[in-house]
Amino acid sequence: FCAVGGVEPQSETVWRQAENFGIPKLAFINKLDRPGADFAMVLDAMRRRLGANPVPVTIPLGKEDALRGVIDLIRQESLVFDEADLGRSVTRAPLTDEEAAVAAPWREKLVEALAETDDDLLQAYLGGEAIAEEALHKALRAATLAGGMVPVFAGAALRNIGVQPLLDAVVAYLPS
């Protein structure tokens, strides 16, 4: 999906066909490096226009021309893509305090959405327990395959920002 244009007619057509055939989906909000890009607006448009249940797995790190990477909400780390080699090199790092503050509400929504689909996860969530990364991946794969939610990834494909986590998700969450 275009981060500026939102849900465009061709995206809506492809989405409807995937729905008709029961194909599990991932979403990539692209062009987040452009002026006027709005990640949250696209998520809202997906809910309204497509009836989707989009659940962000990565969120943008930076905005518009200051976009430098993404925040992985499951691993709770930042991924910064090197502009010198067009994003081929990725530096993973623990979240800074500022990044953690931005990521916290997004991660909470992710964990809550997954807890609604998995009884074991729900018990751990309601009990205030720390939830293992593997449990989140397992629940996300199951919910994706069942069509109950759509994992959403952020980035700018032209600069190779966020593409690697999306490709990893194809392997982790979609059928072989």
pLDDT band at 125 (very low <50, low <70, confident <90, very high): confident
Tokens of 50: 């497509």
Q: Report, as an integer, the average pLDDT of 56-76.
A: 95
pLDDT at 86 over 80: no
3-state secondary structure string across 106-154? HHHHHHHHHHCCCHHHHHHHHCCCCCCHHHHHHHHHHHHHCCCCEEEEE
* In the block, residue with structure tokens 């006027």: 36
| pLDDT score of 53 | 95
Write out the H or E segment, with its range, that includes residue 163: helix 163-173
What is the pLDDT at residue 39? Answer: 96
pLDDT band of 44, cuts 50, 70, 90? very high
- pLDDT attached to residue 83: 81
- At 30 the pLDDT is 97
Between 115-119, 142-146, 169-173, the lowest mean confidence (pLDDT) is in: 115-119
Whether the predicted pLDDT of 87 surpasses 80: no
Structure confidence at residue 98 (pLDDT): 95
| Per-residue model confidence (pLDDT) at position 23 | 94
- Give the residue, 58 or 83, on which the prediction is more confident: 58
Residue 118's pLDDT is what? Answer: 87
